[in-house]
């Protein structure tokens, strides 16, 4: 009986998440091939770190951990802690964020937490430990931010950027095997220590709540890269941050526990393009530890009911990691989810490559109207502080714009740019704006003065309250149209869009060459049909040639349309986008090699045409008239007959937009006598 129970328990798969999985299907061979292609596509983007760099990070963290333990011993001795306790006092550096999840990229920083016993104060961390760090030769750019919401020390240790938080536990010593997921550790802690511990606790919970960590990591690398390339990766600006993307991927892994990364990426877009927000995303059922800490609960807290895209952290106290999301940013992300689903559908059907998913859209061609924010300060240090404050408040401006009755959407680009070169340092942010379509021909004047002024007043007020404001710190906002952006943005951003446009024009050239080839094929088929001495075969061949010509001309029209910055209305969307899809410079298309191949094909076809025409000159046209045509047609009239058939079948004889040198040979066949000049 016991043996049967053990066997049943072994056969029952572990359950992940708050619901049962959608599918338990095992991966197929095609899924494994697509996953390998995904890895190869991700490598050029630098999402995988070299082994030597990883070992260097481990070495740096080891040095920092030793430094923490030495510092805690010194503090303990200064506070007359018994020697028996000092020998085992411990102290440890924990990591969290992307490094702890195992998805950090080349050159990424490390989020760390210094855990100390109860007799070590926070003031010790920002005084004696700060001084100890200053004495280390490897430490550069050391700065303390003690008054932040989560106090932190920032530094560069041997070239690696590290942010160190501090938490004091209610323990006499810190054991080496301490598990921070234990809710009992939160007892008798102040709120700042709880906030500091939250990062590690959430990260560890995520790793314990996914069925396959390696599949989770690879999928998260792909999704984070996609989000950054599509300008929707920024918690502070109202999009999603790293931990939020990790929780969405973790939920996908729970719903498809046996799937590999290629399938999980597709299912990610499938699940969250159809998710009914504001229903929350939960990795586990919330637990109440009776510690009277505030948790996310819309039944108890009225403000939680207004969160638009709640993604709830799995560790106690549960919080919404996306409280900054606004109506505009949610609409933008949902639309990107739908586009991602369409692209991954094509990839699974082998109609597209993974590189298409990571093509970056041109934000500066997407909208007609933009608001440009310019933050400036006199010195580099003032500028760094000022830019940080302004960036943290931009979401207030987005909220003000959303409340305007004439504005449908406000999309802030997470990437900032250096402003025009002047005597002072300045930084630019760009916000794309979509105005409502008004009925009637009259122009609409929208006054944004109040929206912008209330935002700037909030920023100045915050700067004065935090005692960081200086007279030279300024922030200005202006409305510009798309064409005016080149006067404000650096040349790098503008050149990027021009380069993409030029690449797309090369594709138009390729399609034009293909149209020319189709025209030459028509000429060859025409002469072959004449040589066959059969009018029915002639008509059949001409229909084939005309079909090829129509297809080539249709492709050319599509290519021309895509090469212009025209408007497209996105399907299943309630707002307009001016999104011109350009071919990415990182794509697999080799334009010049394609052009060389097409030119060589043209030369071969020209030579074939000459050979066929010379053979036709020697043919006896009287035999042609007697056998099949059943009509008396002079040889000078035969080309006119071909031309008549072409016009009747709708073949594109005349194309003013196509270069004349491409279409001359086929056109000349229609007008000259067969016995006359050579092509």
Written as one string, the DSSP assignment of 625-640 is: IIIII-S---TTTHHH
Q: Which of 424, 566, 404, 587 is nearest to 500 (CA)?
A: 587
Q: Which of 281-290, 294-303, 485-494, 514-523 is least confident? A: 514-523
Per-chain mean pLDDT for the chain? 77
Q: 3-state DSSP call for residue 460?
A: helix
Q: How many CB atoms lie within 10 A of CB 580?
A: 21
Neighbours of 574 (CB within 10 A): 9
pLDDT bucket at 509, cuts 50 / 70 / 90: low
Beta strand segments in 413-533, E: 417-418, 425-435, 474-481
Which pair of tokens denotes residue 80? 């007359």
Q: Residue 377 — very low, low, confident or very high, per pLDDT cuts 50/70/90?
A: confident
Q: Quick one: average pLDDT of 19-28?
A: 94
Tokens of 10: 């072994």
Looking at residue 658, its pLDDT comes to 39
Is the pLDDT assigned to residue 638 strictly greater than 50?
A: no
Asked if 311 and 281 touch (Cβ cutoff 8 Å), the reply is yes
Q: Is the pLDDT of residue 90 over 80?
A: yes
The residue to which tokens 């599918």 are assigned: 23
Contact 53, 106 (CB under 8 A): yes
List, as one string, the DSSP characters of 509-545.
HHHHHHHHHHHHHHHHHHHHHHHTT-HHHHHHHHHHH
What is the model's pLDDT at position 521?
59
Burial annotation 139-177 (CB, 10 A radius, 16+ → b, else e): beeeebeeeeeebbbebebbebebbbbbbbbebebbeee
Q: What angle do CA 205, 207, 212 make, to 5 degrees?
A: 140
Label residues 366-387 b or e (16+ Cβ within 10 Å = b): bbebbbbbbbbbbeeebbebbb
DSSP state at residue 500: H
Mean pLDDT of 129-143: 91
Specify the pTM: 0.70
8 Å CB contact between 282 and 312: yes
Name the nearest CA neighbour of 210 among 158, 163, 248, 174.
248
pLDDT digits (tens, 9 = 90+) for 281-340: 999 998 887 788 889 999 989 999 999 999 999 999 999 999 999 999 999 999 999 999
> For 666-671, what is the mean pLDDT?
34
Residue 300 is classified by DSSP as T
When mean pLDDT is compared over 19-23, 373-377, 435-439, 507-511, the highest value belongs to 19-23
Two tokens at 56? 């260097």
The answer on pLDDT for 540 being more than 60 is no
How many CA within 13 A on the CB side of residue 477? 21
Here the tokens at position 104 are 């950090």
CA distances from 441 to 207, 437, 455, 461 (A): 58, 11, 32, 42
Share of the chain above pLDDT 70, in %: 68
Q: What is the pLDDT of residue 290?
A: 79
Q: Model confidence over 78-89: pLDDT tens digits?
A: 999 888 888 889
CA atoms within 13 A on the CB side of 45: 24
Q: Are 457 and 400 in contact (CB under 8 A)?
A: no
Owner of token pair 């003031």: 123
Give the per-residue pLDDT at 162: 94
Stretch 496-509: mean pLDDT? 49
**CA nearest 333: which of 437, 414, 253?**
414
pLDDT score, position 315: 93
Q: Are 278 and 308 in contact (CB under 8 A)?
A: yes
Read off the DSSP letter of residue 318.
Answer: P
Integer-rounded Cα radius of gyration of the chain = 34
Predicted local confidence at residue 469, as pLDDT: 85
Tell me, rounded to whole angstroms, the distance of Cα 257 from its chain centroid. Answer: 25
Residues designated as active site: 98, 109, 111, 163, 224, 233
Closest among 267, 245, 270, 248 to 256, alpha carbons compared: 267
* Longest Cα separation, the chain: 122
Between strands 407-412 and 425-435, the pairing is antiparallel
């Amino acid at each position: 009986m016991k043996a049967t129970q053990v066997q049943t328990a072994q056969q029952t798969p572990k359950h992940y998440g708050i619901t049962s999985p959608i599918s338990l299907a095992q991966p197929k061979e095609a899924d494994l091939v697509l996953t390998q292609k995904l890895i190869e596509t991700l490598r050029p983007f630098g999402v995988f770190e070299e082994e030597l760099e990883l070992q260097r990070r481990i070495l740096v963290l080891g040095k920092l951990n030793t430094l923490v333990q030495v510092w805690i011993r010194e503090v303990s001795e200064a506070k007359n802690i018994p020697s028996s306790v000092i020998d085992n006092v411990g102290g440890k550096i924990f990591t969290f964020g992307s490094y702890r999840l195992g998805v950090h990229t080349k050159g990424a920083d490390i989020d760390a937490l210094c855990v100390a016993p109860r007799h070590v104060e926070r003031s010790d961390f920002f005084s004696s430990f700060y001084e100890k760090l200053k004495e280390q030769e490897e430490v550069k750019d050391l700065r303390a931010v003690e008054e932040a919401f989560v106090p932190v020390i920032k530094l560069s240790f041997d070239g690696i950027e590290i942010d160190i938080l501090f938490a004091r536990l209610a323990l006499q010593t810190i054991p080496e095997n301490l598990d921070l997921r234990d809710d009992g550790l939160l007892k008798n802690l102040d709120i700042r220590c709880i906030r500091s511990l939250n990062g590690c606790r959430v990260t560890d919970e995520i790793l314990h709540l996914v069925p396959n960590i390696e599949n989770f990591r690879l999928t998260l690398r792909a999704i984070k890269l996609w989000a950054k390339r599509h300008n929707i990766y920024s918690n502070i600006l109202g999009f999603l941050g790293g931990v939020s993307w990790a929780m969405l991927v973790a939920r996908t892994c729970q719903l498809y526990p046996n799937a590999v990364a290629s399938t999980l990426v597709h299912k990610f877009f499938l699940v969250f393009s159809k998710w009914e927000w504001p229903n929350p995303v939960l990795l586990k059922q919330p637990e109440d530890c009776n510690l009277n800490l505030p948790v996310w609960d819309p039944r108890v807290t009225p403000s939680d009911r207004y969160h638009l895209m709640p993604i709830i952290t799995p560790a106690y106290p549960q919080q919404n990691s996306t409280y900054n999301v606004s109506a505009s940013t949610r609409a933008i992300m949902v639309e990107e989810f739908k586009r991602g689903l369409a692209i991954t559908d094509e990839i699974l059907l082998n109609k597209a490559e993974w590189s298409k998913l990571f093509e970056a859209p041109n934000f500066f061609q997407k909208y007609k109207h933009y608001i440009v924010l310019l933050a400036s300060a006199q010195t580099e240090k003032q500028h760094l502080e000022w830019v940080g404050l302004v960036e943290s408040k931009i979401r207030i401006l987005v909220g003000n714009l959303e409340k305007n009755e004439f504005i449908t959407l406000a999309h802030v680009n997470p990437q900032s740019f250096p402003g025009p070169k002047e005597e002072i340092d300045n930084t630019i942010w760009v916000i794309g704006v979509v105005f409502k379509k008004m009925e009637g021909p009259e122009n609409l004047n929208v006054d944004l003065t109040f929206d912008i002024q209330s935002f700037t007043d909030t920023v100045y007020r915050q700067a004065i309250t935090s005692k960081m404001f200086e007279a030279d710190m300024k922030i200005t906002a202006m409305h510009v149209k798309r064409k005016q952006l080149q006067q404000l943005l650096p040349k790098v951003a503008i050149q990027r869009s021009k380069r993409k446009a030029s690449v797309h024009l090369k594709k138009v050239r390729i399609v034009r060459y293909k149209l020319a080839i189709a025209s030459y094929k028509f000429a060859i088929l025409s002469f072959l049909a004449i040589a066959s001495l059969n009018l029915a075969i002639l008509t059949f061949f001409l229909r084939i040639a005309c079909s090829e010509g129509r297809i080539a001309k249709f492709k050319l029209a599509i290519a021309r349309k895509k090469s212009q910055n025209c408007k497209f209305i996105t399907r299943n969307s309630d707002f307009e986008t001016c999104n011109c899809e350009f071919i990415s410079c990182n794509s697999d298309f080799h334009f010049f090699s394609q052009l060389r191949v097409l030119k060589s094909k043209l030369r071969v076809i020209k030579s074939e045409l000459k050979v066929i025409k010379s053979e036709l000159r020697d043919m006896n046209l009287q035999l042609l008239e007697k056998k099949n045509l059943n009509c008396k047609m002079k040889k000078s009239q035969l080309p006119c007959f071909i031309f008549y058939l072409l016009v009747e079948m709708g073949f594109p004889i005349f194309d003013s937009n196509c270069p004349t040198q491409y279409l001359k040979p086929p056109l000349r066949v229609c007008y000259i006598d067969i016995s006359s000049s050579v092509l």
